[in-house]
Amino acid sequence: GNSVTQMEGPVTLSEEAFLTINCTYTATGYPSLFWYVQYPGEGLQLLLKATKADDKGSNKGFEATYRKETTSFHLEKGSVQVSDSAVYFCALALYGNKLVFGAGTILRVKS
């Protein structure tokens, strides 16, 4: 079946540290890949996406590259801020707009 596996959290970093959140997927076809972010008390928001192999999605200083050979879509940011504290979800979509989500990774950034 189709599934997404994310690194377990919480991830705790100091402000300006480098962030990596690992995401790998299993899919029966060629999915589109997404990162969603959920700030405290809010719904999910799309952070970035990539629709084919070697595409790089980027937004708000976050980046992720679609790696078909390693079936991965790791999220990175060079310098995190306290305001980046949130839950991050990796997801894939194949047919019919149905998203398959990973379990989510809590990020806590300390000042």
Partner 1 sequence: NAGVTQTPKFRVLKTGQSMTLLCAQDMNHEYMYWYRQDPGMGLRLIHYSVGEGTTAKGEVPDGYNVSRLKKQNFLLGLESAAPSQTSVYFCATDRVGSVDTQYFGPGTRLTVL
Positions that interact with partner 1 (CB under 8 A): 4, 32, 41-46, 49, 51, 89, 93, 96-99, 101-104
Closest distance to partner 1 from the beta carbon of 7 (Å): 13
Closest CB to partner 1 among residues 51, 81: 51
Closest CB to partner 1 among residues 18, 39: 39
Q: Tell me the sheet residues that pair with 99.
A: 93
C-beta of residue 82 within 8 angstroms of C-beta of residue 109: yes
Closest distance to partner 1 from the beta carbon of 77 (Å): 20
Q: Is 83 helix (H, G, I), strand (E, B) or coil?
A: helix
Closest CB to partner 1 among residues 66, 89: 89
Q: Residues 6 or more apart from 107 whose CB is under 8 A from it?
A: 9, 10, 11, 13, 19, 21, 80, 84, 85, 86, 87, 88
